Chains A and B, each alone.
Chain A
């Protein structure tokens, strides 16, 4: 197969999946591993229906999506599966462009190399991303907007990147974690500096002005949301506040819900603050340590989100895993990729199993399911720690080889790295 046709073929395949009436879609839409109360398609439809019937969708406590989704899906686009397929295709294309920007290749090449085919496949065929997309979960849009942000930032288009991250934050407020790396990326370059760290050389003033521009875009989007919300502020409490106050304790693969099922009300605000701060405290250390390569810092923060987010679904670690393909220079330095893979395999098999045992059959209980989500947390943590380690280890360089026998090996490793740089 000609390598230049991989992306179109995969996009066609994905569109085909969207158009064909697949048998299991009803099950997917109800599955708790790939839908959360913040991203579920059923709740989106409910909100749209309530909007049609002049009821405030945010009063019921079941609708937590952003009002922008309400306005888009009730006016210009109907919520049909093609939209999700197109969003997947956009995400894959954005990932490809991020790769090309990072490698310093020209952005509009005719043919694609094997690496690029693998990257595109890693996004479209990743089951962690494919199933939520088939279930019409809005996490697909969040992922696509995140990738678009990174794409525009890597290509040096500040306004587009800031607008994209304003959209992302409007859809999912925890994406604010990515703001600082994006700003840093905009004032430096996306090319890989992992092997040669140096102090941050962008201008802080420019970062401040970019931040101001971001705030402008974000406020305009908030204004647009308030317009459709009839001038009331209740949507903020329901959509952003849901991530912070955790009103809905539907089980999901994340680590928060079980804590808060057994938490006394007395301690709830404190622990909500702790869990939220836990996410935010990763921003500065990661950005300081990887100030020489902000794209890698963004990647690590996506990994943090993919493990510790409030309403986690499989799409969030899915984005992290797909993005690993952008950084082949660190693959050789990963210490336990097999362990991470196996943990993810364990978690992916255990989570639906324990969920069915607990909820459908009544033979298990919440502890079974939480144990499976702890395995998921371990898998995410293992991946994150390994990526962090490899990113730092590559800067130390290889051990110098003395004998001629091993010299062969060293040269081969360098040669592989050079091929990737093409």
Chain B
């Protein structure tokens, strides 16, 4: 009787020990993260302040002999996808009558160079507006967001005030107009007004407007909204020329200006720190056979600080905060930030140092590491004690 009571007492004490350990929890004060979010998302001096990237690629021509305009747009599409903008953020408007044209000897393929090494059409491109949907009205509605409620999400430009948009247009154009599919024209004023509506509705952070047509520079001469960087392939009174023909396809396969831009882009990858100024410096009017122009009066950042990947890539920018132990360093925010997997070997970007001693910690999800070993072994010890007690005593 007495030994059984003693054993029961032992059991109860053990239980009590376990329950008291239960009650002892750890508590840590979580610090305010609002300040850090504000610091992170605030607009810095020469960083873009954008959080997402969109691309609108428009080929405004149709018919077989405008093969090169289709190849222009598809080449830009491929570049932009390669640099990280997902299909959900790309609006591709093509007449799309080239790849499966009966005159196409290489059915289902679109090439942009004479040797036909790289098929731009491929198997997984997403054309959002094709054929007769590529109209001026659809383009303006897309930009301003005034689309029919039945328009699916994949065909809408769902940008916000932190989106950088790359707008590329190609086709046949002239002095302040661009021809859409041989039926209608869009004027420079229309696009300027559309961009102003986007600015008023906070639908963009920055726009890069690139256009490859004859007399292209006139198309951006009427813009009046802020934060737009424009570039075109030829001045007023100049034609833009194609680059080369492919003898088996039988038509010109790429335009000169776009060819050299794409060639420049082949040297860019997602972690590249190349700036827009480098792209503009690479323009060679002799090779392109026309004078490309740059419209940066509405663009308030210095061009050598505007990265190519700000517009062409879908790159996320990460800032690394030091952990709580060395958070007592007091410094100032350095401008610039690093892409996540990139170890900077050129240029200025460095780790910004936080001003306040509090950092982002999610304490409630962190198990206390100091006592972790103790806890592990103690729980194993408890279980072992129970097992041995049961086997040998009872």
Contact = CB atoms under 8 A, between A and B. Distances in A.
Interface of A: 51, 54-56, 59, 67-68, 70-72, 74-76, 158-160, 163, 216-217, 219-232
B376 A223 contact: no
Interface in B1-48: 11, 14-15, 17-19, 21-26
B387 A223 contact: no
Contacts of B378: 227
Given A160-B390, A163-B390, A220-B15, A231 B21 contact: yes
B377 interface: yes
Please classify the interface of chain A as helix (H, G, I), strand (E, B), loop, or mixed, using the class held by over half of its residues: helix
A51 B375 CA distance: 12
Please classify the interface of chain B as helix (H, G, I), strand (E, B), loop, or mixed, using the class held by over half of its residues: helix
Given A163-B390, A230-B26, A231-B26, A220 B369 contact: no
Contacts of B377: 75
A202 B61 CA distance: 92
Nearest to A166: B386
A230 B18 contact: no
A227 B390 contact: no
B366 A75 contact: no
A230 B15 contact: no
Given A159-B390, A220-B382, A74 B376 contact: yes
A163, A222, A230: which has the most chain B beta carbons within 10 Å?
A: A230
A226 B377 CA distance: 13
B386 A228 contact: no
Given A163-B390, A225-B379, A216 B11 contact: yes
Interface residues of B, number: 31
A54 B366 contact: yes
Going nearest first, the 5 A-B pairs with the smallest beta carbon separation are: A223-B18, A159-B394, A231-B25, A54-B369, A224-B382
B153 interface: no
A383 B14 CA distance: 44
Contact of B365 (A59, A71, A216): A59
Interface of B: 11, 14-15, 17-19, 21-26, 365-369, 372, 375-380, 382-383, 386-387, 390-391, 394
9 contacts: A54-B368, A75-B376, A216-B11, A224-B18, A225-B379, A226-B18, A227-B379, A230-B25, A231-B25
A227 B380 CA distance: 10
B55 to A, nearest CB: 29
Contact of A160 (B24, B372, B382, B391): B391
B381 to A, nearest CB: 9
B19 A223 contact: yes
A226 B22 contact: yes
Given A54-B369, A223-B22, A228 B390 contact: no
Nearest to A68: B383
A221 B384 CA distance: 10
Nearest to B8: A216
A389 to B, nearest CB: 38
Contact of B380 (A72, A159, A163, A226): A72
Contacts of A223: 15, 17-19, 21-22, 382
A26 B193 CA distance: 59
A217 B25 contact: no
A72, A220, A229: which has the most chain B beta carbons within 10 Å?
A: A220
A67 B25 CA distance: 17
A56 B18 contact: no
A235 to B, nearest CB: 11
A343 B22 CA distance: 48
Given A67-B379, A68-B379, A217 B390 contact: yes
A228 B376 contact: yes
A59 B363 CA distance: 12
Given A159-B390, A160-B391, A227 B375 contact: yes
B21 A227 contact: yes
B368 A230 contact: yes
A227 to B, nearest CB: 4
B386 A163 contact: yes
A227 B15 contact: no
A61 to B, nearest CB: 12
Given A159-B394, A217-B390, A219-B18, A224 B379 contact: yes
A223 B372 CA distance: 16
Contacts of A158: 394
A71 B382 CA distance: 11
A223 B19 CA distance: 6
Nearest to B12: A216
A51, A220, A224, A227: which has the most chain B beta carbons within 10 Å?
A: A227
A55 B21 contact: no
Contacts of A70: 376
Contacts of B367: 51, 54-56, 229-230
